[in-house]
Amino acid sequence: MSENRLPAEVETGESHYPEWRGLLLAELALARVPELLVHKEPPHATPGFRYDFLVATPDGFCFFVEVEAFSSTELRLKEVESSDELRWKIDAPSIRLAKRSRSPVVLFLFDADTDHGRYLRLDTLPTSAAKARNTVKLPATNTINPTNLRRLVSELRDKIAS
């Protein structure tokens, strides 16, 4: 097993494929949790709606998913999956929009080269008004897999209920 490593700063590059492959990886990750109902919104189908997926449970709880992706090959990063945390820059307006949502908003971040992904809830993050972009931290404990996604859904539901 790989040792945990220092945080890795990740960002979009010039390659085109992380964008479409990230969406594909997110859809597959959600399909691997078959009890979730997943609605994919075609780009620009609804003006003002900016999330990639609406995810619901059969009893009506729902949350939004925003997908981002990067190429570890382009960034020359090795063993991204063993980094203690991935750091991703996100626009302050995106966080403010998420905070206005009545349903939770979750960021899915994927390495389009290794399929490794992590998640982070956006609507409860603090925002710095002075900064146009905020760096968010995605810890290794938030690795996207069926077990962790079930835990995420359970935690989101508990917090909404309380």
Closest separation between CB of residue 155 and other proteins, Å? Answer: 19
27 binds other proteins (CB under 8 A): yes
Residues from 85 through 114 that contact other proteins (CB under 8 A): 112-113
Concatenate the DSSP letters of all residues of 74-97 into one string. Answer: HHT---GGGBSEEEEEEEHHHHHH
32 binds other proteins (CB under 8 A): yes
49 binds other proteins (CB under 8 A): no
Q: How far apart are the first and last CA of the chain?
A: 38
Give the residue with the Cβ less far from other proteins, 28 or 160: 28
Contact 91, 98 (CB under 8 A): no
Distance (Å, whole) CA 32 – CA 25:
11
25 binds other proteins (CB under 8 A): yes
Closest separation between CB of residue 53 and other proteins, Å? Answer: 13
Q: Please enumerate in sequence order all residues whose Cβ is within 8 A of that of 62, keeping only pairs 6 or more positions apart, or say none.
A: 54, 55, 56, 103
Provide the binding-site residues for other proteins, judged by CB under 8 A: 15-17, 20-21, 24-25, 27-28, 31-32, 34-35, 73, 112-113, 115
